[in-house]
C-alpha cells in the first residue's frame, strides 16, 4: 500500500469537519457522531457507552477481540468564578496551558449556544518591567464584554460552563496539519482510516476488530478504563500523539529524540507487551515503514496503560504520532507520519492470528 494514496479528498473533508467541531472532555458526543457517520459504511455495528465512548465493530460475533484505539476528547477550561465586574476565572479540564492563554479568543459553551470571549491581559505599558508576571492559572481571566456578573449570567454563562478555543484546521506548506486538538483527534482519524482501508481492500480479519474512540483521556484515561471492561479485548493497539523534540527549549536527554516526518513512534514501557511490540516493529521493517523509538519509565501516560492493566492483563502496544506544540492551539503533525501510522496499524492487524496469546512462555 503506497503511503501517498492513503489520505484522499473524502478523508481530508472528514478530518477537517471532525477537528473543527469542539469535543471537550466530558462533552464528546457531537464529535463521536461525526466519527461514527464517517465509519458507518466500513463496519458492522457500533457500541456506545454511558459516558460517550464509541466503538465501531467489524466481526462482532468473533470471540477473539482486537482493539485499535484513539481518544476523542480535547483539553478545555471550566468557568470557575465570576467577579462582580463580570470577568471570568477558570480551572483546567485536562492539561490546558496557562502560558498560551493571554490574548486568545474562546468559545464558552452554554445552553443558549456559544458565547464568545477573550483571555485579556494587561498592556505592556502598564506592566512593572522590573517584575513581569507570567501567565498563571490564578491570574488569567476571560472577558465576554459584560459590564457585571449579572450580565454574564444573563448571557447564559455560569460556573461549570466548558470553554474551548475556536482555532480551526489549516495545512501549512502542503504537508503539515495544524490545529488545536490534533491530540488526539488524529488518533480517531487514523483508526477510522484503518477501518476504511480494510473495507476498501476487502480484507477479511480472523478476529473481531473494535475500533475504539474513548472519551476522557485528558483527565486520566477514564474512557478507556470503562470501555476495556465492556469489550474485554485480547489485544489493544493504542495510538496517541508524542512530542517532537527538535524545536527550541526541549531537552532530548530528558524527552528523547523524535521528530515530525521521521515516522510513527513505537513505545517501550512496562505497560507495552514486548511480543506485541516486536510484532509491530517486525511489521514496520518488513513493510519498509519508517519508525522511531521512545522509552517511558513506569507509565506511558496514554490509554495504553488503561488497556494493559485491565481484565487480568491485555497485550497492549502504543504507536504514537510525533507532534509539535502539544496542548497549544497550533499543534502540528506531518501528513506523511499520519499515513505511516495508518499503514503500521493496518499491516500489524493483518499479521495477528486468531487466538494469539503473545505469551512469553509459548
Residue ranges binding Zn ion (CB under 5 A): 183
CB of 100 to Zn ion, least distance (A): 14
For 55, the 3-state DSSP assignment is strand
Residue among 76, 89, 92, 82 nearest 155 (CA): 82
Minimal distance in Å, beta carbon 331 to Zn ion? 9
Q: Which is nearer to Zn ion, 146 or 341 (CB)?
A: 341
Question: Going by C-beta distance under 8 Å and a sequence separation of 6 or more, which residues neighbour residue 119?
Answer: 101, 102, 103, 104, 106, 140, 141, 142, 143
Beta bridge partners of 46: 56
d(C-alpha 222, C-alpha 125), whole Å: 45
User: Which residue, among 206, 252, 189, 218, has the nearest Cα to 66 in the 3D structure?
Assistant: 206
The angle, 0 to 180 degrees and rounded to 10, between the axes of the packed helices 9-20 and 182-200 is 150
DSSP structure class, residue 352: P
Q: How far apart are CA 114 and CA 157, in angstroms?
A: 10
Nearer to Zn ion, 28 or 183 (CB): 183
Choice between 183 and 305, CB closer to Zn ion: 183
Question: 183 vs 303, which CB is nearer to Zn ion?
Answer: 183
Specify whether the CB–CB gap between 74 and 126 falls below 8 A.
no
Contact 242, 294 (CB under 8 A): yes
Q: Would you tell me how many other CB atoms lie within 10 Å of the CB of residue 28?
A: 27
Nearer Cβ to Zn ion (183/339): 183
Q: Which is nearer to Zn ion, 107 or 183 (CB)?
A: 183
How far apart are CB 82 and Zn ion at their closest, in Å? 28
Q: Which is nearer to Zn ion, 97 or 143 (CB)?
A: 97
How far apart are alpha carbons 315 and 271 in whole angstroms? Answer: 9
Instruction: Give whichever of 48 and 328 is closer to Zn ion, judged by the CB atom.
Output: 328
Give the residue with the Cβ less far from Zn ion, 283 or 320: 320
Residue with cell 496517541: 240
Residue closest to Zn ion, measured at CB: 183
Shortest CB 184 distance to Zn ion, Å = 6
What is the distance between the alpha carbons of residues 8 and 151, in angstroms, rounded to a whole number? 47
Q: At closest approach, how far in Å is the CB of 196 from Zn ion?
A: 25
CB of 134 to Zn ion, least distance (A): 22
**Nearest distance from C-beta of residue 298 to Zn ion, angstroms:** 18
Torsion, CA 132, CA 134, CA 140, CA 144, rounded to 10: 60
Q: How far is the CB of 258 from Zn ion (least distance, A)?
A: 16
The answer to whether the beta carbons of residues 233 and 86 sit under 8 Å apart is no
Q: Are strands 141-143 and 113-120 parallel, antiparallel or unpaired?
A: antiparallel
Q: What is the rounded CA–CA span in Å between residue 275 and residue 281?
A: 10
Shortest Å, Cβ 218 to Zn ion: 5
Amino acid at each position: 500500500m503506497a503511503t501517498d494514496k492513503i489520505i484522499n479528498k473524502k478523508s481530508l473533508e472528514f478530518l477537517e469537519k471532525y477537528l473543527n467541531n469542539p469535543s471537550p472532555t466530558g462533552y464528546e458526543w457531537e464529535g463521536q457522531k461525526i466519527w461514527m457517520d464517517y465509519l458507518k459504511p466500513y463496519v458492522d455495528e457500533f457500541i456506545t457507552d454511558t459516558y460517550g465512548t464509541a466503538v465501531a465493530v467489524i466481526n462482532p460475533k468473533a470471540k477473539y477481540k482486537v482493539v485499535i484505539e484513539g481518544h476523542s476528547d480535547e483539553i478545555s477550561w471550566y468557568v470557575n468564578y465570576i467577579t462582580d465586574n463580570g470577568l471570568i476565572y477558570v480551572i483546567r479540564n485536562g492539561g490546558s496551558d496557562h502560558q498560551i492563554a493571554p490574548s486568545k479568543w474562546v468559545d464558552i459553551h452554554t445552553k443558549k449556544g456559544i458565547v464568545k470571549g477573550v483571555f485579556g491581559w494587561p498592556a505592556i505599558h502598564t506592566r512593572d518591567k522590573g517584575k513581569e508576571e507570567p501567565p498563571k492559572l490564578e491570574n488569567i481571566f476571560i472577558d465576554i464584554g459584560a459590564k457585571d456578573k449579572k450580565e454574564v449570567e444573563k448571557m447564559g454563562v455560569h460556573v461549570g460552563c466548558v470553554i474551548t478555543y475556536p482555532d480551526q484546521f489549516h495545512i501549512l506548506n502542503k504537508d503539515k496539519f495544524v490545529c488545536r486538538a490534533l491530540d488526539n483527534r488524529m488518533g480517531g482519524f487514523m483508526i477510522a482510516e484503518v477501518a476504511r482501508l480494510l473495507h476498501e481492500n476487502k480484507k477479511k480479519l480472523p478476529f473481531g476488530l473494535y475500533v475504539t474512540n474513548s472519551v476522557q483521556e485528558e483527565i486520566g484515561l477514564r474512557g478507556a478504563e470503562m470501555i476495556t471492561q465492556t469489550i474485554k479485548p485480547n489485544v489493544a493497539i493504542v495510538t496517541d500523539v508524542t512530542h517532537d523534540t527538535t524545536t527550541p527549549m526541549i531537552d532530548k536527554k530528558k524527552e528523547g529524540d523524535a521528530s515530525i516526518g521521521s515516522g510513527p513512534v513505537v513505545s517501550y514501557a512496562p505497560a507495552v507487551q514486548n511480543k506485541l511490540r516486536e510484532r509491530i516493529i517486525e511489521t514496520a521493517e518488513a513493510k519498509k515503514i519508517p519508525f522511531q523509538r521512545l522509552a517511558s519509565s513506569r507509565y506511558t501516560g496514554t490509554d495504553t496503560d488503561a488497556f494493559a492493566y485491565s481484565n487480568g492483563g491485555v497485550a497492549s502496544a502504543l504507536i504514537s504520532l510525533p507532534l509539535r506544540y502539544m496542548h497549544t492551539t497550533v499543534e502540528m503533525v506531518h501528513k506523511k507520519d499520519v499515513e505511516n501510522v495508518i499503514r503500521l496499524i493496518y499491516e500489524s492487524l493483518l499479521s495477528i492470528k486468531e487466538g494469539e496469546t503473545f505469551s512469553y512462555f509459548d
